[in-house]
Chain A
Amino acid sequence: MGSRPLATVLPAGVLMVVIAACGAAPDVRTEVAERRANDFAGVQSGGLPAAGPGAPDRADPEIDLGQPVDGGRAGDAAAAPSADAGQPDTSRQLQAGSQPSGERPDGAEAAAAGATDTGVGADVIKIGGLYFNGSWLDKYSQVAEQAASAYFRFVNDRGGIHGRRIQFITCDTAATVSGTQGCIRKLVEEDRVFALGPSLDFNLDTVVSYVERANVPWLGSSGLYDQEFASPLIFPTQLAGGDMGAIATTFVAQQLDARTIGVSWNTQPPGPACFERVQAIAPSQGMQVVVDANNGQTEADLSGQVIRIRGANPDVVLMCNDPVNIVKFIQAAGRQGYTPPVGWIGAYTHADDVPQAIGRHGIGFYGLSSFDHYHSDTAGVREYLAILHHYFPRSFPHIYSQAAFAGARATVDALEAAGPELTRERFLAHIGTMTAFDSRMGLVFNFGDRAAQQATGIVFQVNEDLEWRQVTDRFTAVRP
């Protein structure tokens, strides 16, 4: 009997020693510990620097950011729960029993000094954000959240907006329908945010009608769903899936001179919209889509899809996939020794880790971005990187981090223009006038007339060092 406790403790002890004591490399351990400790802490920046004539211009990329801060905090401590497991997952739309209650300030709130609308106090403006941090793509959403938080903190540290600081309240949806719906309800009904802001999340199509009934403006959504672009209250700061497909198809037609295309596409938006646009544009460019193969989010292996596309022998393989499935596709192709005769291109790939994960079989693979390369030496990109790394020194840039940053900038611009008597009506009215909002990273948004939005982008190629190398200047996609 005496040996039983020892026999129980020994394996567990060895396991703990392996994991904890010898575990991660010191730098990894430190980084992760800091990141985790800070991820769910608040963004409230405490004492605000005095605003005034001496305050520097936010838009100045050469701005002195002062000493780096503590590694950064991405969200509000009280406002970052996991996905609400209690929400039903039976409907794609959030509806019955979910009548929003936060569309107007109640009497007491309105009477409070400085309260001009829901979520606006004498010294605070509440902005909400949704991120699929608890999902298979969490590494990208976490840094997107950091990019938006960094810009809001930057603004707060310089006096805020008309004397009010921004409280960015984020919520982890875990990439589930119930998570997105639960988070939206929490932000609107419990946190009573003034507006929703920069986000990176799936399933937004299920909350569009709720957002509209609640009359909550949303500037800076991730644009993965066409429904976002159709809503009068929602303004993504990323191109639609169809536009990404159009940019890729334009490049394939005009630069690679291909005649036949095979398409690998993810069944989760924006994959379908991207694929549909490829089909719509290709004939006008003298090309034909000869085969397609779809894939789900969590498929372990895409060998079958590669074989299907190989069988049709297209000149080019065009991928409307998330980065994880693009990596899986090329890895599966590598195992089969397959490379398309003319080339291959992916729409959602612009992050440094993608070419490294693809490996050497992916040398020559093309990727595209709607924003300027995050390593380019332009004023807007320098500003983005300086602010991001000031507040989050270990954050890495990528295409959706840039979109979140652009969303934060757009939100701040609209809030400032709406004036001290901030209301949702004023806020929305100003957004409607933003027909040429310059993200300062190449992409210009037309929030006032979204049908006229120009789909422009840049194409990169994986070089021998497994890094992105820019191979085109910014160009405009052809329209169907």
Chain B
Amino acid sequence: MTTFFNLVLAGLTFGAIYMLLALGVVLIYRVSRVVNLAHGAMGVLAVYVFHYVFLQSWGLPVGLAFALTLVVGAVIGAAVERVFIGPVRRDGVLVMLIMTVGILLLLTESALQVWGPDQPVVASIFSGRTVRFLDTGVTFHQMGAAGLALSLGALLAWALNRTRFGKAIEAVAEDADAAYCIGLPVRTLTTVTWALGGASAALAGLLFIHMNSLDPISLTFVLMPALVAAVFGGFASFGLAAAGSLVIGVVYALSQGYTTVAGMGDAVVFVVLIGALLLNPAMRRTAALRMEF
């Protein structure tokens, strides 16, 4: 039983990373109706700036560098929207989706070209000390990541469901022309939303990469389960996406701990997704409506 609880705890802590990514994906989807496959690469690029520019080159304190990195993430998100997504917005979802693949490759290769293939360990604003819990350990970094993920999820849910800003974003997503006609600043709203998505990607990158090492493609692999979690939320609900992220984290950890079949963790995650879609018609309808590609 101890092993079981330990695996659940490990899954929850890692599910928090999935949650951060899923929230950003859902946020961008809600305004642009595109699944941003470059989300992980945007976060990784920001972390490269954090490590090589803010810490190594400029010698900034970690806390200040951390905050500036969120700004960099926002700038990356805004730039991606303005330079790449905005111009093809009217060409349809498929074109935008392919564009995100191109952005993914561009950002990944750019990081590699500028900073090289080294994979250093990056700093965290949280302590690496371990707290004993249920016969296992959890670091302050992991607890901080979970706290930030939950806080961000609550903040986004409130902002998008309870404020005029959220309603405006929904209006833009439903019909950009109509939103423009009633006086909404469509382009600005879209860019701001991508900036928020970029900042959340940077946050996810900072928190995840500290637990591994800086690698241009690492966060892209983590994005896959986060996309599954976003499907749980129909690419619309922050709450369901957050819950889905935690479920996926736990399922993945249990698969790692209780099976000896290679790749079983990934397989089980997708089996759970298929099962959920089959057993829950409402979710299937939502996903079908939302996933326009």
Contact = CB atoms under 8 A, between A and B. Distances in A.
Interface of A: 4, 7-8, 11-12, 14-15, 18-20, 22-25, 28-29, 31-32, 35-36, 136, 138-139, 142, 267, 292-296, 298-305, 307-308, 310-311, 324, 327-328, 331, 334-338, 353, 356-357, 359
Given A25-B57, A138-B117, A335-B142, A300 B212 contact: yes
A293 B260 CA distance: 6
Select the residue from A24, A303, A335, A336 with max chain B CB neighbours within 10 A. Answer: A303
A308 B257 contact: yes
A308 B14 CA distance: 16
Instruction: Give 8 closest A-B pairs by Cβ, nearest first.
Output: A304-B256, A337-B137, A267-B262, A303-B10, A11-B79, A139-B117, A32-B116, A11-B78
Contacts of A7: 82, 187, 191
A393 B21 CA distance: 40
B256 A142 contact: no
B217 A304 contact: no
Interface string B50-90: 00110011100000000000001001101100110010000
Interface residues of B, number: 65
B238 interface: no
A223 B230 CA distance: 42
Given A32-B115, A337-B136, A338-B137, A294 B82 contact: no
Given A336-B130, A337-B136, A142 B117 contact: yes
A8 B121 contact: no
Contact of B118 (A18, A29, A139, A267): A139
Nearest to A139: B117
26 contacts: A11-B83, A11-B191, A18-B53, A23-B114, A24-B53, A28-B52, A138-B117, A294-B262, A295-B262, A300-B221, A301-B14, A301-B212, A304-B7, A304-B11, A304-B255, A304-B256, A305-B257, A307-B3, A310-B3, A310-B6, A328-B212, A331-B211, A335-B138, A335-B142, A338-B137, A353-B119
A335 B6 contact: no
B254 interface: yes
B79 A304 contact: no
Contacts of B6: 307, 310-311, 336
B88 to A, nearest CB: 13
A304 B257 contact: yes
A178 B13 CA distance: 37
A451 B1 CA distance: 47
Given A12-B79, A24-B114, A31-B116, A311 B3 contact: yes
A304 B252 CA distance: 8
A335 B128 CA distance: 8
B53 A12 contact: no
Contacts of A357: 119-121, 213
Given A14-B75, A357-B119, 8 more contacts: A28-B115, A294-B262, A300-B14, A300-B212, A300-B222, A304-B254, A310-B6, A331-B212
B138 A29 contact: no
B280 interface: no
Contact of B114 (A29, A307, A310): A29
Given A303-B256, A335-B138, A311 B119 contact: no
Contacts of A335: 130, 137-139, 141-142, 211
B122 to A, nearest CB: 11
B281 interface: no
A291 to B, nearest CB: 10
A7 B86 CA distance: 12
A357 B260 CA distance: 27
Nearest to B57: A25
A118 B3 CA distance: 60
B49 interface: yes
A299 B3 contact: no
A150 to B, nearest CB: 19
Contact of B265 (A20, A299, A353): A299
Select the residue from B2, B83, B141, B211 with max chain A CB neighbours within 10 A. Answer: B211
A327 B118 contact: no
Contacts of B262: 267, 294-296
Given A22-B57, A337-B136, A338-B137, A307 B7 contact: yes
Interface in B264-284: 265-266
A293 B49 contact: no
Contacts of B82: 7-8, 11-12
